[in-house]
Amino acid sequence: MAKTSKPKNEPDTGHEVDADKLRTAIQDVVAEVPERPVARDPETSPDDMAMEAVDRDDADTLPKDASDDAEAPDADGAEEATQAPEPDEPEQADSGPWVGSETASAQSAEPVVIRKGGFLPMLIGGVLAAGIGFGAAFYILPEVWPGLGDDDAFEAQVSERLDEQAQAIEALQDAEPDLGPIEARLDDLEGMQGAIDTLDGRVDDMAEAMSALETRVNDLEKRPVTESASPEAVEAYERELQAVQDAMAEQRAEIEELLAEAAEKEASAEKSAEEVATRTAMTRILTALDTGTGFAEAAEELAAQDVDLPPELAGVADSGVDTMADLASAFPDAARAALAEARRDEDGGFVTFLKDQLGVRSLEPREGDDADAILSRAEAAVNEGRLTDAMAEIDTLPESARAAMSDWMDRAQARADAVAAAEALGADLDLNRG
């Protein structure tokens, strides 16, 4: 069903009416009034025309002979009125009761063909059509009439809603991911790199010390021990050699400990770098879902980190999904189509017929299990960002109405699945890191 825009000066009444349908319904009623051509005098007033129509109806009921007798003087009177000069004062007609009216008709230039049935049936048809339209609108939308003059309030409300939507869209487009935690991790990585460099320097210094000790040990071992050396000298030599060996063992253990610590810090730095890349990619994906853009590059970054992307996300990585604003904008057309299908299945009366023809539907959420009430609650949920609640409401519609909203439901389902998959993936990555 074609979308009809709401006039600027129409107040917010909680219902929506298709103006084109109302106009078409009134024209159809007027077109059904029977018509027949008649000749009338341009100077004849509407009251005379109405009386003339009644006289003609009476004349149709006269016997044939009586109507023939009435036609003869009518023609003679018309001929005399045509040939006689125009008198200063009206002359008394002597050709019968029909001469005056027929003479006035003969003086007209040409007969004018008007709508069938004369003025009275047309007037009755117009009044009937106007009454039907007025009564239907008053009965269906009684709350419209008290606020017809409140144009300024309505325009202010519409302007406020448009400004709010524009600000929300601009905020989403300008939104930047929160990189505070990521930057903090990068600072930690830089500090860890400095610690690793310090350890490397200490290892180098200890290696040089070890080399010097080994040289001293070798020199001591090569020094000859003479027979004349006293036992005290030999004992002192052995003590010095043992001290050097103990120092070498201690330094070797310290070096091994420093090397293990350096390796651990390096592994931690690499892991932190991977976590930063993964977190950044997930942030970009969530932002893309909010703005309706693609996120193929972020998906490739996750794949490089050996992260498997769920199919609900992989399938829309190039195109993205509809935003909540997109779904809210497309909902009215889908709702009107679904409501029309539901009303065709209902055994409604004249009011239901008029609502279907005029495209009337509720714009404020209301209770009830009919299609109009269900769609009103679903639309309210969409406008509030509760997409899953809106889809649950739509699932309770009749089958024909659900079929009419299948395209909108597919778009909504794609968004709901993608958002749920992204949130689950982010939680899983956080759990694994913990």
Please tell me the total number of residues recorded for the chain in this structure. Answer: 434
Whose CA is closest to 357, among 29, 11, 88, 44?
29
d(CA 310, CA 331): 28
Each residue's pLDDT tens digit, 225-271: 555 567 777 788 778 878 888 888 888 888 888 888 888 888 888 88
Alpha helices in 32-118, H assignment, sequence order? 46-59, 64-83, 99-106
Kindly give the pairing relationship between strand 112-113 and strand 39-40.
antiparallel
Burial annotation 129-140 (CB, 10 A radius, 16+ → b, else e): beeebeebbeee
Token duo for residue 45: 């007033």
Q: With contact defined as beta carbons under 8 Å apart, do 363 and 422 qualify?
A: no
Same domain as 328, residue 304? no
Same domain as 393, residue 348? yes
Same domain as 330, residue 417? yes
The CA–CA distances, whole Å, from 420 to 287, 291, 302, 387, 415 equal 14, 16, 17, 12, 9
Same domain as 203, residue 309? yes
Residue 362: in which H helix or E strand, if any? strand 361-362
Residue where a domain terminates, one of 84, 111, 138: 111
d(CA 124, CA 98): 29
Same domain as 298, residue 205? yes
- Whether 89 shows a pLDDT value over 70: the answer reads no
Task: Residue 223: give the domain boundaries.
Answer: 180-314
Helix (H, G, I), strand (E, B) or coil at 179: coil
Give residue 115's pLDDT.
47
Residues of the chain with pLDDT > 90: what percent? 24
- Out of 27-36, 151-160, 387-396, give the one with best mean pLDDT: 387-396
Question: Exposed, middle or buried, 17 (CB in 10 Å: 0-12/13-18/19+)?
Answer: buried
Alpha-carbon dihedral 42, 47, 53, 55, rounded to 10 degrees: -110
Kindly state whether residue 261 falls inside one of the protein's structural domains. yes
d(CA 339, CA 362): 10
Residue where a domain terminates, one of 80, 111, 142: 111
Kindly state whether residue 18 falls inside one of the protein's structural domains. no
Angle at 417 between CA 412 and CA 422, to 5 degrees: 130
d(CA 333, CA 420): 27
- Out of 37-51, 91-105, 334-348, 379-393, give the one with best mean pLDDT: 379-393
Burial annotation 366-397 (CB, 10 A radius, 16+ → b, else e): eeeebbbebbbbbbbbbbeeebeebbebbeeb
Domain count, the chain: 3
d(CA 71, CA 308): 101
What's the chain's average pLDDT?
69
Non-local CB neighbours of 182 within 8 Å, separated by 6+ positions:
276, 279, 280
> Comparing 137 with 99, which gets the higher pLDDT?
137
- Whether 370 shows a pLDDT value over 80: the answer reads yes
Same domain as 306, residue 329? no
d(CA 81, CA 132): 48
Same domain as 282, residue 202? yes
- Whether 403 shows a pLDDT value over 70: the answer reads yes
* DSSP string of 30-49, one letter each residue: HHTS-----EE-TT--HHHH
How many whole angstroms from its chain centre is CA 150?
28
Angle at 57 between CA 53 and CA 60, to 5 degrees: 140
Exposure on the CB side of residue 191, measured as CA atoms within 13 A: 6
Same domain as 369, residue 275? no
Query: What global pTM score does this model have?
Result: 0.48
Work out the end-to-end distance of the chain between its first and last CA atoms, rounded to an integer number of angstroms: 53
Give residue 324's pLDDT.
94
Give residue 45's pLDDT.
46
Same domain as 245, residue 224? yes
Residue 399's pLDDT band (boundaries 50, 70, 90)? very high
Each residue's pLDDT tens digit, 150-201: 456 667 766 777 777 777 666 665 655 566 666 666 666 666 666 677 766 7
Q: With contact defined as beta carbons under 8 Å apart, do 280 and 182 qualify?
A: yes
Give residue 294's pLDDT.
93
Same domain as 376, residue 305? no
Residue where a domain terminates, one of 314, 335, 362: 314
Kindly state whether residue 16 falls inside one of the protein's structural domains. no
Residue 16: in which H helix or E strand, if any? strand 15-16
Kindly state whether residue 151 falls inside one of the protein's structural domains. no
Give residue 211's pLDDT.
73
Token duo for residue 2: 């074609």
Same domain as 377, residue 266? no
Kindly state whether residue 131 falls inside one of the protein's structural domains. no
d(CA 165, CA 325): 8
- Whether 64 shows a pLDDT value over 80: the answer reads no
- Whether 398 shows a pLDDT value over 80: the answer reads yes
Same domain as 202, residue 301? yes
Each residue's pLDDT tens digit, 111-124: 544 444 556 666 67
Residue 96's pLDDT band (boundaries 50, 70, 90)? very low
d(CA 49, CA 41): 9
Kindly state whether residue 205 falls inside one of the protein's structural domains. yes
Kindly state whether residue 341 falls inside one of the protein's structural domains. yes
Whose CA is closest to 298, among 315, 312, 319, 283?
283
Non-local CB neighbours of 311 within 8 Å, separated by 6+ positions:
none
Q: With contact defined as beta carbons under 8 Å apart, do 102 and 93 qualify?
A: no
Alpha-carbon dihedral 284, 290, 293, 298, rounded to 10 degrees: 20
Give residue 103's pLDDT.
41
Kindly state whether residue 125 falls inside one of the protein's structural domains. no
- Whether 279 shows a pLDDT value over 80: the answer reads yes
